[in-house]
Structure 1
Amino acid sequence: MRQLVLLFMFCTAIAHNISAQVGNTVYDTRQYKKGVYKTFQEFRANNPSVTGTLVVKNRTPAAQVYLLSAPNELRIIDSTGQEQKVRKFWGYSDGVSIYIKDNGLNKLEEIGYYCLYRINAITSAPANRATEGMVFNNTPPPTADKRVLNLATGDVYDLTLFNMRRYILPNDTALLREFNDDKQNKNKLVYYIQKFNQRNTPTW
């Protein structure tokens, strides 16, 4: 009888440990902890190491070109009520969504084996001699592109036909074959990312 009791307690402890681990990572849950991820590992574990009141400061397209800076930056309010720029971090969560730092702060539109996000950038513009190089009305519009983040490795790829064939889809040979046979594949890159996520589970 004592052995049965000990066996029951052992199994209960294992079950409790497993259940405590399920739902902790960003892949398993949609209850993101609010704060700053210093590293990719903190992001994946849904465990930001910096918490506090966060503020995102946006820049105008003209300021981005003139200052050669990102569209926005992250700041945190310190104990004195002053805003301080957050430095050397991977990304952050506002408790609802997750943002990766990649030429500014970009929202992860999908979280799965491959996380999808749109990166915004300003195209270059020739200097305006009449204003000593400052750009005003001739500021070009922002351009946008998509990238994917491998949740297992942390690798980031531009969402292109080449990368889909070479790096993103090879782990699913059947889906890669379907992609290569699809004559409209260049217009369906996001679709195939989503389909890959539905068919595959990341491990690390």
Structure 2
Amino acid sequence: MNVTRDKRTTRWDDHRRSRRAELVDAAIQAIRAHGAGVGMDEVAARARTSKTVVYRHFADRAALYVAVCERVAQVLADGIQAAIETATGAKARTAAGIEAYLQLIEQDRELYRFVVHRPLVDSTPGDPLADVVTMLGDQAATAIAGELSRAGLDPAPAPTWGHSLVGLVRGAADQWLAAPAGTTRAELAARITEFAWAGLSGVTREKP
């Protein structure tokens, strides 16, 4: 059964979507200003409104956290994809994707820590962070499948290798942020690329 919504109930939909996006922007600005441990009071203050208004658009703190995660995931995915598309050759594309990920989290460390440590969330169904990692893993799998296909190989293992690659990069990046030990982003990117390429070059059969 198709039910047509009254225009009086739909005319504010664009406004609500726009207002939600503005509140997510405010939350991100508050995170950058106050750090990953930001609270709802700081978010509301940055949005120049009250917590009541924030909760009018987000059912609870977890809902706002999920919205921020979705924004971060899209920024990461778009940045990595853009970097990969400008590179030529399988190793160069691998290096570009890793470098883009590290660059984005280095530039926005507190936002990344916010996503990882979930300060606004006491408990919530599902795991928004896992969704972010899954999205990036799927993106990597698609890129690897393309390399395998170009090499005339079966792309079936691509999901396994793609998600493994994302796990490798994320693990190294988390350790680096916690204890950089004088390692620059460029150095870290080169180390991860060499380690990852040692495996990927074997399965794609392409010379570095």
TM-score, scaled to structure 1: 0.25
Larger strand share, 1 or 2: 1
Q: Which has the higher contact order (CA 8 A, sep 6+)?
A: 2
Larger helix share, 1 or 2: 2
Choose 1 or 2 for highest CA Rg: 1
